[in-house]
Structure 1
Amino acid sequence: MDEKLINLQIGALLYDIGKIVRRAGVSSKRHSIAGADYLEKEGLLDVEKYKEIYDMIKYHYNEEMEENNKLNKLDDNSLAYIVYEADNTASGVDRIEYDKEGEKIEVAETEGLPLDSIFNRLNVKKNKIEKNFKSLMYDRYNFNMPKSKIDKNKIENVEYLNVLKQLKKDLAKMKDKDILTPENLNSVLEKNCIYFPSSSYADYPDVSYYDHVKLTAAAASCMYLYDSEKENNKINYKDEYFKENEREKLKFLFVSGEFTGIQNFIYTITSKIAMKSLRGRSFYLELFIEHIIDEILEALNLSRVNLVYSAGSQFYMLLPNVPETVKVLEEYKSIINDFLLKELGTSVYYEISYTGTSIEELGNGLSQGIKKENKLKGILKRNFNETSRKKLNRYSQEQLEGIFDENSALNEIHSDTKECVICKKTEKEDILIKNSQKESNGNLEVCNSCKNYIKLGKDISKSFHLQDKRVFFVEENCSEDSDKLKFPKYPKGSVEINFKSFQTVEEAEKESDKFYRFYSINSDYLGKGNSRNIKVGNYNVKSKNKKNSLVEFEELVKKAKGIERLAVLRADIDNLGTLFRTGFEDKEYISKSGEKEPYKFVRFSKTVVLSRYLSDFFKRAINLILERKSLIVEKNELFKEYCNVITERIEESKEERNIVLVYSGGDDVFAIGTWNDIIEFSVDLRTAFKEFSSDRVTLSAGIGFFDENYPIFQMAQKTGELEKLAKSYNEGKSGKSAKDAVTLFGMNKHSKINHIYKWADFIEKVLNEKYRYLKSVISLKENKKTDKETDTDKVFVGKTKWFGLMKLIRSQFEKNDDGKVDIARFAYSLARITYDKKNKKQEKNYLDLKRQLFEWIKNEEDAKQLLTAINILIYEYREKNKELK
C-alpha cells in the first residue's frame, strides 16, 4: 500500500485532535498547535516517522498556512495542503474567513457547547423541538438519546478529559502493537468521538468530530489519488489547493451499490426450519455487502473512511475519479454477478453506479458566500438515474448467453436428483441425504446451500447470546468448489465464511494470520489482523429446547399470550429519499444580514451524519429496545417505560421480547414474534424513534397475524401490503398528514374498514384508552368461585356476545346510508349481558361499560378503535385453532 496515502488518511483523521485537547483544558494554544504538541509530548506518534502527519496537524489552519508559506517550511507538494482543502470540502464552507472569526468566538464562549441533534435542522416535519447530547461517552450497552436543549448547557472540561484519556489509551495500544492503520484509527474515533461537535462555534454545531474528520479523510484520499494520475506524479499541491483552488475538476466518484431481488431470495422458502433459514439468508446478503465494500476499498488502497453509508443490501462510497476505480467497479460487478448466477440463479442481482462530482459540488457551492442552489440533490439524482438505466440492462452478452443456453453450466441437470424441502432446488440425492436435518417431524433433506443458511442462522443467533465473548464471522481462502457459503474475491478466488468466538483479544490475534478478513460483530475489536467492526441488529429469543439455537416457529408460537399466533412486523422510514435530497433545505431561513438563505444548511456532511444516525438506531438501538434495556442513563422524555399493556410482564424482571429480528438496516425492519410481543415492540420502536428523531421523521408499519404453518413468502407479502396501506394513509386528503401510521390484522379490499391508524391514535386511543378500559372492567372467563385467577368484580362478557357486538359495529362501515349503528339492536345485545347484582362493584362496572360503549359507537373513529381493541382482547383469551372472524 502507498505509504503516503496511509499517512494522509491517518493525518486527516488526527488533524483536529487539538480541539479535544483544548476542550479538555490541557492546553490553551490554538488547536492546530495544541494537537501536535500533545501527540509529541505523550509519545503517541513518532515525530521522525510521521513528520508528514505532524505537518497536516500543524498547518491545516489558514493562518498557520499563511505564516508557513512566508517561511517556506513546507514543500510545495506537502500533503498538508490536501488536508487543508479536504477540511473545506467536508465543512461545506471556505474556512479562510470562517475560521478567523470562529477562533475568536470559540476561545471566548462556545467551546463547551454540546452537539446538536442532526434532526433539529430537518424540514420534513417541522416543529420547534430542539435537542442535543448531554453525554460524550459511547456505551455499547446503552444508547445515547438526544435530550431537550437547556439554555447555557455546556460540556464540562472533565468530560472531554475522559474522552482524551480513552483516545490516549487506544493510540498507545495501536503504537505498541504496531497496528496504527486508517481502519483501526477510524474505529477508535467512531467509538470515542460521535457525541461532541467538530466545530462548536458553527451556526448549528450538529456535525460530530468523528463525522467531520472521517469525511475530511475520505475527500483527501480521493484528491491524492486523482492528482497521482498526473504525469510523473509531480504536482504543486500548494498552488492546487491553497492558491488557485481549482474546485470544478471532477475528482470524485459518488458510488452506490445494491442487491435487487432480495425478497425473492430471502422469503421464497417453506416453513420447514423456517426461522434459521430465513435469518441465515438475510444475514448472508448483509455480510456479502460488507465483503463487497471491503474488496473494492482494498483494491484501491483505501479504508472505510471512504464509506459514506452501509445498510443491509446497499451502500454509498466516495471514491477517486480515476480509471483504476472504474476498472475495479466494473470488473468486480461482473465477477459478483457471475457468482450469483452460479450460486443463486437470477433471483438476486448486484448493481453498481457512479457519478463524477467536484469539490465545488460536494461543498454545495463551496466558493460562494451565499448558497444559491442544492447541488447535492443533483449528485443523488444523477446517481439514481444511472442506477435505473443500468437495471434495464442487467447482464452482459456473455452472461445472457449462459442463462439462455440449455447446455451451459448454469443450466446443468444432474441425474438422480430430488428437491430440497426448503428452497425446492434440485440437488443430487446423496447430497440431500448427507445434509439431513433432524427435526421433531423427522429428517428433512436439504441442499448444501440451505444447510449452510441454517448454520449461518444459528451462528448469528449465537453472536447475540455470546455477548461476553469476542464473536467474529471470518473469511478464509477456499477453492471454488467448496460446499460452504462463499463470497467472490477481487480480482479472483473465493473465501468461505466461518463463525468464531474468543474469550479475549489475544486469543483472536493468535489466529488472525489464518484469516483473509474477519468481522467483529457489535464490539470494538482493536487488534492485529485484517479486521472490521460492524454493527448488526441481531436480537433473537433463543430456543429452550436446544442450547444457543435459534427458536423455530412451532416453539415460538407457544410463547404467545392467549391464541397461538405469530405476528410479522415490517416497518420503514417515511420519505427517506426526500430526507436525503432536500431534508436540509429551509425556505424560511433568514441570515444575519437579512437575506433569505434556503440552502445554507445543505451540506454533504449533514447528509453523512443523518445516514449514520439512522444506521445506529436500526442496527444498535434496536437490540436494546428488544431487550427492554435503558436507552440512556438519564430518564427519557417520551420513553419512560416499555409498552406492557398486553403482556403485563413484571417490570422489574426486564423479561425480553419473544421476537427474532430477521433484518434491521439503515431504515427498515422485519421481525417475527408472538403476536402480543410484536404489537408491544412496534409501539416501543415508534416511541423510541420519535424521541430520537425529535418527532421530525416518521415511520410506518404493517403487522400481520399468522398461523405457524403459514408460508413465509405470503407472510412477508401480506405484511408488506399492510405496510403500503399504512404509508398511503391520508395521502391526498386536505388537512391530513400522510403516513406515520400502522395497519394491523389484515386487509379487506371489500370492506370500508381496515385496522389502520396514525401511531398516536393507535397507542393512545386503541391501546391505552379502549383496550385498557375493557381489560379493567370485563372478563372473557366466566366467574367461578373456585377459580383463583378470576377477578370477581369484572363483568363476564363471553366471546359469542363480543362477536355479535363486533358485527353490529362493522355494519356501520358497510352501509351506504348515514353509517349509524343500529342502536336498538346494540342496546338489546348489551342488555343480555348478565352480572351479579349482589356485587356492587360488578354492577358499577356493568353500568359504566354500557355507558362507555354507547358513547364510543356514536362516533365512527371511536367505533373503529373499539373494534380493534376488542380484536386484541379476544386474541388474548382465544384458544388455539379457533379463528377470529
Structure 2
Amino acid sequence: MEENKKEVRNLLAIGALFHDIGKVIIRALWGETEQYFKQIEKEKHYKEQFKYAHAYSTYEFLKNIVDNPVILASSYHHNPDGAEKEFKLYAKIYQLADYYSSSERSEKEKIEKENLLRVIFQNIKVPKIESKSQENFSEQEYFYNLQPLQINNEVIFPIKKEDLISFDEITAYKNLWQGFQNEFNILKNAYIKEKKLNSSEKFLTALYYLIYKYFWCVPASTYDPERKERHYPDISLFDHLRVCSAFSTSLYTDYNLNIIKNGDKPETEIKLIFLKGDISGIQKFLYGITNIKGVAKRLRGRSSFLALLPDLVAKALLDKFGYPFVNILYSGGGHFEIVLGYEEGIEKELDKFSKEVEEILFKNFYGALGLALGYTEITLSELRNKEIYRNKIMKNIYRVLEKNKKQKFKGVLINYSIDQLLDIINQEFKDIEKNYTVCSSCQVVITEEKGEEEKNICKWCETFKEVGEIIPKAKYLIFSKEKLNNLPGFHIDRIGGVYFLENLSKVSIQIKENNEIYLLNDTNFLKKDRCDGFKLIAQIVPQTNSEVMTFEELVEFAKGDKKLAFARGDVDNLGLIFMQGLGEDYSISRIAALSRSLDLYFSGYFNYLFNLEEFKNKIYVLYAGGDDFFIIGPWDIVFEALERIREDFKKYTCKNKDIDLSSGVFVGRDSYPVRFAGELAGSEEDKAKEIKSTIRVLSESLKWEEYEKAIEEAEGIVNLVNNKKIGRSLFYKFYQLLKSFRDNKNNISPKFYPQFYYYLYRNVKDKDDREQVINFFLDSKNDYQVKKDALFKAKYVIMKTRE
C-alpha cells in the first residue's frame, strides 16, 4: 500500500516536537527527582526500553494522548532496539535526527548551577572586528527568564546572573509546565478524539507555536541527573525540537529510507539539502511608488506583502515537495532557509520550481521582483564537521545564490522570445475597445485608462491600498493555497495567498478548517478564537480617531521645523556574525536561533516599543524584520526613537560590542516622495556603515555615543534660545561659518575662530551663556578645536527652535 509521504512527514514532525518533552516534566519535578526515579524503577525497567528517564517520561505523556506508532516512536529516540517492531524504523529516524541536531553541544565548560537558557548573543565574537574593549563578555552571564513568550522587554530581554538572587527556578519550571498543559488540553480536545488525530497538519501547526510560546526560554540540555553531566545551555528546547523536526521529515525520502534500512553506516550516505531563497528587487519595489493620493496606504500594503512573500514562496516550495512548514528554518527580511531530504533528481525539480516562480513573478510584476535559489547537499556525518558544514552550507550556498541573483530571470529569458514576453505582459490588455496606460502609482504595470490620474491604478496597487487600510486594525492573518474572494489580502496564482482580518466572525467554518489562521502579534492564539498559531509583524501606524494619519497630519507633531525624518537601519557585520561569530560552536541550531532572535526584536519588539506612550501614534513603521527597519515620523521624535532602538538593541544583545546597528536618516518635508526619501535614507545608511556602529544624520556621521551626547547638549542650548537668552539667528551664523570653513576632509580652517568669537561676543553678553556656547562648539580639553559634532548640533538647534 502506497504511503502518503506528506502525512507521514507531518506525523514525524509532531513526534520530533514531542521527543524531549520529558525533560521539562523532570525539571518540573526537581526537588522530587530522586523519588521520581525510584518510582519509575518500580513501575517499569525504563532503561531497557528507553535508556533515559526523560524518554520514558515522554512516552508516558504521549501514550495517554495518541496511539499513532509514528508519534509514539519518538520516545525511543535513544534506544530504537527497545521499541516494538512497528516503531523501529521511525525510532531510528528520530535517533538520527536527534543525534545530528544535538551534536552541536558546545565544548565550553558548563560550571553554572542554574538550569536556565544562556543568551546566545553573549558568545558572539567576530575576529576581524578590532575590539573596543578588553572586556571578556563570557564572564558576564545573561539568561532568559522562564516565562511564556510575550512581546515586551520584561520577557524577551536577557537578565544578568546577579539579578537571579531571589529567582525560584523549580517553581518557574512547574508554572511553565502547568501553563503548557493547560493550553495543550485545548489543542488535544480540538484535534484528538479517542487517541486519533483528526487533522495532523492543523495539530502540527498549533503544537509548533505552543512549544515556541512555552519552551523558547527553556535550555535544550543542562544537567543530566542520570549521567551526572552538565551541558552548556545556549540552545533553547524549542530550537532543538524544531531542527530535529525538520531533520526527521527530511530523512523520510526513498533515497534516505533505503540507506536507513540497509546501510551499515547510514550517517556517511544519508543526504540533506540545505536551501536558501532570496527575493530580489525588494528595495526598488518598495520605494517604486509615486506620491499620489493614498500613497501611505499603498506603502503599508506593499511593505506587508514584501514581508510575507518569503513565507508564501517557502510554503509553496514545501508543498510541492511534500513537506510540512517546520522545514522552514527561517523566513523573513526578504529571504528564507529550508532543509529537505535528498532524492534522485531533486536538483532538477528545484531548478524547475525556481523557474516557475520567476515566471509567475514576472507575469505579475514585470521583472520588478524575482527569486534566486542557492542550495547544496550534505551528509549527516559532514554536519558534525564544523569546517565542512560551514564551507558547504554557508559559503557554497551563498556563492550559488549570488551567481543566480546576477542572472535574474535567466529561465524566463531562455524559455521565451521577446514577442512571447510582450504577449505575457499584454495578455490582460487585448480589449481593443479600451485604452490602456501605465499605473499612476507604481509606474510599472499597465492598466486600463480611466481618465483622472488618481483612477489609473493597476490591480496590484489597488490591492495594496485595500490591504493598507485593514492592516492597522487587523488582528488575524490567513495563509491560503486557494484564492479567498471578498477578503482583503494578496494572492499569487500557483504560489498562494495571505489575508488580513479584523475579526473572524464573517469567515466560514470551511475557510477556518482548510487554511492556517494566525493571531497577529499576540501569543495567546489558543485562547483567542482558537487560532493555529501566532505571527509577529511590525504593523505600527499612527492613528487619530481610528483613522490612519496622513503625513500632513503626522508632521504637525514635529517641534520647530515641520519636517519628517525617514530613517533606515540594520545590523552591522551580519555576514561575519553568522559566518565567524560562533567560532567553534557554529551549528545549524545556533544559526537558526540567531536568525529567530534577531527577527523577534525587529518584527516583534517594534510593536511593543512604538506603542509606548512617548511614541504611540507618532511613528510609522514602514517595515521591520529580519535585521533591518525603516521608520518615518516627525524628525525630532524619530531622532529620539533611534536612540531608543539602539539602546534597547544593545540590552537585547547583552551589550556585546561585536553586535551593533548603523542607521541613515533623511529629513524632508511631508510632501517629499517616499520613493526618493527611502533611497536617500539608504544612501545615508551606506555612508554610516562605512564606519559601523554609526548614525548618519543631517549629513553628519556620528558614533552612537557621540550622537546621544550631542542631542543632550543641543537640548541645553535649545532651552537658552527658547528662553530668549541667545538669538536663534546667531546659531544660523555659526552653522554657515562651520560649513564655509570646512574642507573635504571635515577639517575646520583656522579662519573660523576669529569670526566665531566676533559673533559670539557681539551677540551674547552674559559670561556664563558665552561659556556654554564655547563649550558647545569647541573642545577645551583639545586646544579648543571645533568638536566633531558641532555642525550637527548647530543644525539641530536651528531646526528645533524654528517657530
Please give the range of the TM-score, normalised by the shorter of the 2 chains. 0.7 to 0.9
Is residue 148 from structure 1 mapped to residue 153 from structure 2 by the alignment?
no
Q: 2:145 aligns with which of 135, 151, 159?
A: 135
Distance in 2, matches of 1:488 and 1:332, equals: 14
Supply the RMSD in Å over aligned alpha carbons. 3.5
Distance in 2, matches of 1:707 and 1:16, equals: 56
Distance in 2, matches of 1:664 and 1:330, equals: 30
Distance in 1, matches of 2:620 and 2:51, equals: 49
Q: 1:662 aligns with which of 608, 622, 630?
A: 622
Change (3 A) 1:262 1:37: same
Per-residue CA deviations over 1:282-324 (Å, capped at 9, x if unaligned) read 2112222211222222333322321111113110011111247
Is residue 163 from structure 1 mapped to residue 176 from structure 2 by the alignment?
yes
Secondary structure of the 1:796 match is coil
Per-residue CA deviations over 1:705-728 (Å, capped at 9, x if unaligned) read 112222222212211111111111
Deviates more, 1:177-186 or 1:151-160: 151-160
Output aligned runs, 1:453-852, within 5 Å. 453-463=464-474, 470-473=475-478, 475=480, 477-478=482-483, 485-489=490-494, 497-502=498-503, 510=509, 512-513=511-512, 516-524=515-523, 525-526=525-526, 531=532, 533-542=534-543, 544=544, 548-585=546-583, 599=584, 601-628=585-612, 654=614, 656=616, 658-694=618-654, 695=656, 696-729=658-691, 739-746=692-699, 755-764=700-709, 766-768=710-712, 770-776=713-719, 778-780=720-722, 791=723, 795-799=725-729, 801-814=730-743, 819-834=749-764, 844-850=768-774
Question: What is the CA-CA distance between 1:679 and the residue it aligns to?
Answer: 0.9
Letter in 1 for 2:664: G
Distance in 2, matches of 1:616 and 1:479, equals: 29
1:114 equivalent in structure 2: 116
1:647 equivalent in structure 2: none
Is residue 386 from structure 1 mapped to residue 380 from structure 2 by the alignment?
no
1:90 equivalent in structure 2: 101
Distance in 1, matches of 2:180 and 2:488, equals: 43
Per-residue CA deviations over 1:568-613 (Å, capped at 9, x if unaligned) read 111111111111111111xxxxxxxxxxxxx2x2222211111111
Q: TM-score, normalised by structure 1?
A: 0.77
Change (3 A) 1:581 1:802: same
Distance in 1, matches of 2:508 and 2:168, equals: 37
1:307 equivalent in structure 2: 328
Q: 2:368 aligns with which of 336, 341, 347?
A: 347
Which has a greater percent of helix? 2
Change (3 A) 1:94 1:498: closer
1:207 equivalent in structure 2: 235
Secondary structure of the 2:616 match is coil
2:219 equivalent in structure 1: 197
Is residue 417 from structure 1 mapped to residue 436 from structure 2 by the alignment?
yes
1:247 equivalent in structure 2: 267
1:257 equivalent in structure 2: 277
Change (3 A) 1:718 1:94: closer
Letter in 2 for 1:670: F
Per-residue CA deviations over 1:110-149 (Å, capped at 9, x if unaligned) read 6742111101221126642334225111343413211223
Contact 1:307/1:317 (<8 A) preserved? yes
1:732 equivalent in structure 2: none
Output aligned runs, 1:273-312, within 5 Å. 273-312=294-333
Contact 2:104/2:589 (<8 A) preserved? no
Contact 2:779/2:787 (<8 A) preserved? no
Question: What is the CA-CA distance between 1:423 and the residue it aligns to?
Answer: 1.8
Distance in 2, matches of 1:680 and 1:829, equals: 31
Q: 2:21 aligns with which of 17, 30, 33?
A: 17
Q: 2:253 aligns with which of 217, 220, 225?
A: 225
Distance in 2, matches of 1:444 and 1:861, equals: 58
1:8 equivalent in structure 2: 12
Contact 2:487/2:499 (<8 A) preserved? no
Per-residue CA deviations over 1:75-125 (Å, capped at 9, x if unaligned) read 684311221221121122599xx9xx99xx9xxx96742111101221126
Is residue 53 from structure 1 mapped to residue 71 from structure 2 by the alignment?
yes
Question: What is the CA-CA distance between 1:675 and the residue it aligns to?
Answer: 0.7
Question: What is the CA-CA distance between 1:150 and the residue it aligns to?
Answer: 3.3
1:872 equivalent in structure 2: 796
Distance in 2, matches of 1:199 and 1:496, equals: 39
Secondary structure of the 1:864 match is coil
Distance in 1, matches of 2:728 and 2:356, equals: 63
Question: What is the CA-CA distance between 1:255 and the residue it aligns to?
Answer: 0.6
Change (3 A) 1:56 1:312: same
Distance in 2, matches of 1:255 and 1:208, equals: 23
2:40 equivalent in structure 1: none
Deviates more, 1:705-714 or 1:804-813: 804-813
Distance in 1, matches of 2:488 and 2:604, equals: 32
Contact 1:402/1:408 (<8 A) preserved? no
Per-residue CA deviations over 1:678-715 (Å, capped at 9, x if unaligned) read 11111111111111112230111101111222222221
Distance in 2, matches of 1:860 and 1:521, equals: 55
Secondary structure of the 1:79 match is helix
Change (3 A) 1:114 1:846: same
Secondary structure of the 2:501 match is strand
Structure 1 unpaired stretches of 5+: 366-372, 437-442, 464-469, 586-598, 629-652, 730-738, 747-754, 781-790, 836-841, 880-885
Question: What is the CA-CA distance between 1:627 and the residue it aligns to?
Answer: 2.1
Distance in 1, matches of 2:11 and 2:357, equals: 32
Is residue 174 from structure 1 mapped to residue 191 from structure 2 by the alignment?
no
Change (3 A) 1:855 1:303: same
Question: What is the CA-CA distance between 1:329 and the residue it aligns to?
Answer: 3.2
Secondary structure of the 1:264 match is helix
Distance in 1, matches of 2:488 and 2:84, equals: 59
Identity of aligned pairs, percent?
A: 22
Secondary structure of the 2:633 match is strand
Q: 2:411 aligns with which of 378, 382, 396?
A: 396
Change (3 A) 1:563 1:13: same
Q: How many residue pairs are counted as aligned between the two chains?
A: 747
Distance in 2, matches of 1:548 and 1:332, equals: 43
Q: TM-score, normalised by structure 2?
A: 0.84
Distance in 2, matches of 1:858 and 1:655, equals: 38
Change (3 A) 1:682 1:852: closer
Deviates more, 1:214-223 or 1:822-831: 822-831
Secondary structure of the 1:663 match is strand
Letter in 1 for 2:271: K
Contact 2:383/2:389 (<8 A) preserved? yes
Question: What is the CA-CA distance between 1:421 and the residue it aligns to?
Answer: 2.5
Secondary structure of the 1:661 match is strand
Question: What is the CA-CA distance between 1:20 and the residue it aligns to?
Answer: 0.7
Is residue 183 from structure 1 mapped to residue 126 from structure 2 by the alignment?
no
Secondary structure of the 2:665 match is strand
1:642 equivalent in structure 2: none
